[in-house]
Structures are given as C-alpha cells and as structure tokens.
Amino acid sequence: MTRPAGGLEGQAILVTGGGTGIGAACAKALVADGAAVTICGRRNEALEAAAERIGAVADCGGTIQTIVADVTDEESMAAAVKKALEPTGRLNGCVANAGGGGGMGPYHVLDTAEFLRVLNLNVLGTMLSVKLSVPHMVEAGGGSFVGMSSIAGHVPHAYFGAYCVGKAGIEEMMRNAANE
C-alpha cells in the first residue's frame, strides 16, 4: 500500500552523517514524507546499506541518494551539496548530523590532536554545512537548517572533554546563524 506523502514533495534535503544512527533515521523520515534526500558520510558501505533500507519507504515519492563526503573537508562538502542539488536543482534543507566524540578524560591529560579532531568533526563540520548549504536555501527562497547537538552541549559531563565543547559550539553557532 502506498501511503500519501507528508508534504515534502519536491524538497531537496542534505543529511550529513546519514549512513547510521540518528542521521539515517532523519533521512528515512524525510524520504517517507516525500523529500529528495542526499545522505553523506565517510563510509560508502554504511551509506549504501542505509540507502537500501531507506529506499523501502520511498513508495510515497521520496528518493534517496548517497555521496561519500568528509564534513571537515570543504571541497568534499561542496561536492555533497552539489550532489544534493541534482534531484530538484535547489536545496531546501540540511541536517548537519555528522559528529562524534573521543578525547575522553580530564582536560589536564587530554591529547591535543584528539581534542582538535573532535572539535573539527563537530564544530567545523557544522560550520561548513552552514557555509555551503545556506546560500542555496536563500536562492531557493528559504529553507531549514538543523544543527545536531546533545544534552552534553549544555549540561556538564565530566571527562567528555572536546565532545561537550563541540556540542555547545554547535548550539551557539545555530543561534548566531539564525540571528544572521
């Protein structure tokens, strides 16, 4: 049985970190509501497996496509945004979901390189998603941007180091971007 689309027909949406977990669940819901969704992530196998699962709900007109991309690399993200434009010629939304942790422990013993890796993944990855997707949404007459955070962004979590800082950074970035 084909269920009616949920109002996102003709809307193109990019989901970063869309191959697993929350990103894949967001992509599935968007496709089920009729959107043309592009998922990106670093591992092609995870992306293809997610696309296969998500394609099962595409009977309402939504579509799914994949591209391997690293949110911390501007050229890679530019290619992901370009791919997301393909189905409709515009971009109506972006879910900046890619992120992660690491660098656990008290700050006085944290490895600096690992701390920066986690910050880059969470903060720089979200910033590049904003930088590269928002101009297309403006051109399309509007859109929606979601920056995925965590309770760790506003409630202290001992030994979560860079993860808490990164998620707090995403929350402030979203407030600033909305104000712009």
Question: Annotated active-site positions, please?
Answer: 163
Alpha carbons 62 and 50: distance in angstroms, whole number: 15
Place of tokens 């370009």: 82
* Terminal-to-terminal C-alpha distance of the chain: 44
Question: Residue 123 gets which letter from DSSP?
Answer: I
Structure tokens at 164: 């808490």
Q: Is 21 left (phi over 0), alpha (psi -120 to 50) or beta?
A: left
Alpha carbons 168 and 84: distance in angstroms, whole number: 28
Among 136, 99, 158, CA closest to 11: 136
